[in-house]
Amino acid sequence: MALVKQHVQEEGRTEAIQSARIPHSADRDLTSLQEELRLAGEVQRAMLPNPMPRMEGLSIDVLFRPADYVSGDIYAACRLDETHLGLALADVTGHGLPAALMTFFLKRGLRGREVANGQARLCLPDEVLRRLNAELLEANLDYCPYATAAYATYDRLSHRVSWARGGLPFPILVRPGRVAVQVRSQGSLLGAFEGAEFETASIDLGVGDGVIFATDGLEALLAYEESRLRHDDVSQTPWFGTLGHRPLRESLAEIERRLEEAAPGSWPADDVTVLALTRRF
């Protein structure tokens, strides 16, 4: 009986020791995961253009704020030739590491220049999105299979911005002293429909004019903050009403300030990415 009692006591001590170790093991696993996510976030940010490419007479302002260590948003910018600049913005459906990994796929697909038979040519915005849509469908991914995106070009000679969008919020045209407007065009979610078509829209920018491209995280932030907002209509917000009455850089700075001041859990946090182009002269 004494031996049985001793055995039971020893088993109890062993279980207690093992139980005590479990929280420490879980803490180590969590710390390791957080470190891996942090490193993944650094790799992702290293993919972003820094500094942004320069184009005579054009300024580009960027706001990139992941909701967590990594982001399901991605943007890209590059000079296509001496007179054209290419810009891309995409948002993967979903969050976390799977969505972040998908941004690598999207960045590769949002290319605006091709070389065929030794000759380089620029791709039209709608062509870029059609190709990316086909690549997503062909990949047939189980996780994060869909994305929203926009691809735009700027011609410094004509000062024309041309773009196609698929599922992203409508770009906002901003002109000094005038009411900003959302420029509507057709374009569905990418990766959802075979043979989907994407409309190309174009705007000639005057001096001081600008265009804002953003992921839906901007709408989510403004919609939650503005109780009068109707159906995520960003044009009904006071922030939208200030566009055209101050530099776009200040408008983006206000959004960044709101994000920094937002208490954890105060809004359904989402990745927020905004690209703002302004013709300076």
Q: Structural domain boundaries of the chain?
A: 1-46, 47-279
Secondary structure in 3-state letters for 74-116: EEEEEECCCCEEEEEEEEECCCHHHHHHHHHHHHHHCCCEEEE
Residues 112, 105: contact at Cβ < 8 Å?
A: no
Q: How many CB atoms lie within 10 A of CB 16?
A: 10
Q: Where are the alpha helices (DSSP H) in the chain?
A: 2-46, 96-109, 125-139, 216-225, 238-242, 248-261
The single-letter DSSP state of residue 1 is -
Q: What is the pTM of this model?
A: 0.86
Side-chain-side CA neighbours of 216 within 13 Å: the count stands at 18
CA–CA dist 125, 102 (Å, integer): 21
CA–CA dist 124, 112 (Å, integer): 7
The single-letter DSSP state of residue 167 is B
What is the model's pLDDT at position 113? 92
What is the model's pLDDT at position 240? 96
CATH homologous superfamily of 47-279 equals: PPM-type phosphatase domain (3.60.40.10)
What is the model's pLDDT at position 98? 86
What is the model's pLDDT at position 40? 84
Torsion of CA 198, 204, 208, 209, to 10 degrees: -30
Mean pLDDT by groups of 10 residues along the chain of 281 residues: 46 52 65 82 91 96 94 96 97 88 90 88 97 96 93 98 98 98 97 97 98 96 71 83 98 96 78 98 97
Name the amino acid, one letter, at 224. Y
